[in-house]
Amino acid sequence: MLDSKLELSKFVLMEFQIFAREGCEVCEKARQVLSRFGVPIRVRFIDGLSATVDDLADFAFFGWTDTPPLVVVTQGGRVLKRWDGNDIADPNRSWHLKVQQFLASAPTVFR
């Protein structure tokens, strides 16, 4: 029997959200990298015809950035990791390796 919310939290799946702009190449790069790792992705648009008030509100809640996309990993309402466009676009930072390291050390499975 589970004794605490902490023990329950390990059964809550991680969610990967990409706050993107329509037509953004770096946003698409983030989606492709996460897709290659097979993680569940939720793309949320912050401008254009696909943008919603809820997406904009959550984008602001997670830490608005002027450099899209914003990638946020959450689990049960708790933010586990956050990257912005500067992290993703910089070829010297090897963002896919950072994602790989995060997934290797992640506290739970995501599938």
34 in a structural domain: yes
The residue-averaged pLDDT of 87-98 equals 87
Q: Centre a 10 Å sphere on the Cβ of residue 37 and count the other Cβ atoms it contains.
A: 14
pLDDT tens for each residue of 35-90: 999 888 999 999 989 999 999 999 999 887 788 899 999 988 889 999 998 889 88
Q: Give the CATH number for residue 60.
A: 3.40.30.10
111 in a structural domain: no
36 in a structural domain: yes
What local confidence, expressed as pLDDT, does residue 68 receive?
A: 86
Q: Where are the beta strands (DSSP E) in 1-111?
A: 14-20, 41-45, 70-75, 78-83
Residue 23's domain comprises 15-105
42 in a structural domain: yes
Provide the residue type at 29 as one letter: K
Between CA 51 and CA 68 the distance in angstroms is 14
3 in a structural domain: no
